Amino acid sequence: PALFMENARKGSIVSRANSIGSTSASSVPNTDDEDSDYQQESYKESYKDKRRRAHTQAEQKRRDAIKKGYNDLQAIVPTCEQQDFSISSQKLSKAIVLQKTIDYIQFLHKEKKKQEEEVSTLRKDVMALKIMKVNYEQIVKAHQDNPNEGKNQISDEVKFNVFQGIMDSLFHSFNASISVTSFQELSACVFSWIEEHCKPQ
């Protein structure tokens, strides 16, 4: 009986110890799950921070690019530098910079068109001079080859009549084509008229 009572007491102690262990084990929080949740939360936060930082950097780059563009325009466009002394300390607004840039581009387009017209006129003048040069060279060569040809065979009256017939047919086009507003315009019109109406053939 004494041995039986001793074993029963030991069994009761072991069962109570097991129950206490299980209770204490159940009361202890699951640290592995909490670590996992914490890591996920910190990962989410760092991802948001990275996105926010990347967005901030991209926005800053965009603003820097716009600022550099306006600074370049102010350096290139001459009218942006010519400011009144009373407002020289004030910075030009973006709207003024853009408007001055538009005005300057329109001015350049007009200048380009004007220069193209001048180049076209000069090309016509050069072509007319080349035609005149060729004609005079042919006349000089003909006289050098036959210095006595036709001499004393045609009267001055006949020559004048031939000249008058040619000039009468050309005067109408000459009168309609030539402008005498200025000497430069007269010269340009004469060369253009010669090129168009006084061809060798």
Residue 21 lies in a domain: no
pLDDT number for residue 119: 94
Burial of 192 (0-12, 13-18, 19+ CB in 10 A): middle
pLDDT at residue number 123: 92
Q: Model confidence at 104, in pLDDT bands (50, 70, 90)?
A: very high
Contacts of 70 (CB under 8 A, 6+ apart): 94, 97
What's the confidence (pLDDT) of residue 8? 56
The DSSP element (H or E) to which 67 belongs, if any, is helix 31-76
Indicate which CATH number applies to the domain containing 50: 4.10.280.10
Domain membership flag for residue 7: no
Kindly state whether residue 55 falls inside one of the protein's structural domains.
yes
**Containing domain of residue 168, as a range?**
156-200
Task: Please report, as a single letter, which amino acid is at residue 58.
Answer: A
Q: pLDDT tens for residues 23-70?
A: 444 444 555 555 555 566 666 668 788 888 889 999 999 999 998 988
Please check whether residues 46 and 118 belong to one and the same domain. Answer: yes
Task: Answer whether 104's CB lies under 8 Å from 77's CB.
Answer: yes
Is the Cβ–Cβ distance between 74 and 80 less than 8 Å?
A: yes
Q: How many domains does the chain have?
A: 2
Q: Is residue 143 part of a domain?
A: no
Q: 162 with 109, same domain?
A: no
Assess if residue 185 is contained within a domain: yes
